[in-house]
Amino acid sequence: MIQANGLSKCFGTQTVLKQLSIDLPEGQRVALIGGNGAGKTTLIRILLGQYVPAGELTVFGSNPRQDRMNVLRHIGFVPQNPPPLQMTVRELTRLSMALAPSGTFEEIRRCTLVLGLDWEAHQRKPFFKLSGGMKQKLLIALTLSRKPRLLIMDEPTANLDPAGRLAFLGELARLPETTGMLLSSHRVDELLGLIERVVELDQGQITLDQLVHDRALAGRLLECRVAMVEEYEPLRRVCREWSLCNGVLPGVFSGEIAATDRMRFLSALTPYSHQIRQLHLDLP
């Protein structure tokens, strides 16, 4: 799907991407993480053909700069900050459908409704007058309705309320398994159920490239034991949610979790780490 070899990008004297090489197979779902200025947005813009990088890059077998129409036909993109478009919601929907006719209006309307935006109620409003969350929901709906082969989203949940975020993740989960994703986010925890791989960028270089959904672990269970410093109800609740049982000893929960869910499990425990005395995870 994406093959990059020795990709570099400089702006003046500042090098934003340094000799980045990565290979993303078709249909893979990747979380792109990293702090501010790590190079995530630059990488995304290069993939969209908007920047001229040094090095080799193909997206769906084509160079996104030289053959951008062929590449962009298969990509759905949602930017970090919705642009202040003057056009109305209706006009933006029309434009999106005219440029990318694979999506249907019925699908757009359904998706906006699921995300919590009533398209019909807002159709005559200028896009820039919608709230940040509403704009994001519309852009997400327009993008998802196109059924792209690759979704590129830059901080897609940044402006969404909790309900919208949940609905958005649900919509992503509904997509065909063949849909690849490159989701740039600060909050990798909420994407863990969706993604198979985490790529972390720092100062333009890959510092972590890890498969989350390890196929070798598929279908296997991990023995798990959580011992608390003292009885703490929020942590007990998390343990119960993960079907861990309180044994004979007070403040000790044990049970089994799916091996492929281990990162999601650890993310759920992270806020209560100060209350954990001992944590044990093992393959039986």
**Residues of this chain that bind another protein (CB under 8 A):** 45, 48-52, 68-69, 72-73, 75, 77, 79, 81-87, 90-91, 93-101, 105-106, 109-110, 113, 118-121, 123, 139, 152
Q: Which is nearer to another protein, 58 or 88 (CB)?
A: 88
Supply the minimum distance, in Å, between the C-beta of residue 221 and another protein: 41
C-alpha dist (Å) from residue 81 to 77, 134, 218, 279:
12, 12, 37, 39
CB of 195 to another protein, least distance (A): 21
Q: Is 74 helix (H, G, I), strand (E, B) or coil?
A: coil
User: Residue 178 carries which DSSP code?
Assistant: T
Measured on CA atoms in the order 243, 245, 246, 251, is the torsion positive or negative?
negative
Q: How far is CA 14 from CA 9, 20, 32, 39, in A?
A: 9, 15, 21, 11
Would you say 102 or 278 has its CB closer to another protein? 102
Strand order in the sheet with 276-282: 245-246, 252-258, 221-228, 276-282
DSSP code, position 181:
E
Cβ neighbours of residue 60 under 8 Å, at least 6 residues apart? 1, 70, 71, 74, 149, 150
Residues linked to residue 182 through DSSP beta bridges, in sequence order = 30, 152
Q: Of the two residues 5 and 104, which places its CB atom closer to another protein in the complex?
A: 104
CB of 104 to another protein, least distance (A): 9
Nearer to another protein, 29 or 109 (CB): 109
Cβ 79 to another protein, closest distance in Å? 5
Least distance (Å) between residue 40 CB and another protein: 14
Q: What are the DSSP E strand ranges found in 110-175?
A: 150-154
Nearer residue to another protein within complex by CB, 51 or 168: 51
What does the buried/exposed string (b/e) look like for 16-26 if buried means 16 or more CB atoms within 10 Å of the residue's CB?
bbeebebebee
**In angstroms, what is the minimal distance from the CB of 8 to another protein?**
14
Which of residues 109 and 165 has its CB atom nearest to another protein in the complex?
109
Q: Which is nearer to another protein, 81 or 278 (CB)?
A: 81
Two structure tokens written together for 60: 């769906």
* Closest separation in Å from C-beta 191 to another protein: 21
Residue 58: both structure tokens together: 């193909």
Q: What are phi and psi of 158, to 5 degrees?
A: -55, -40
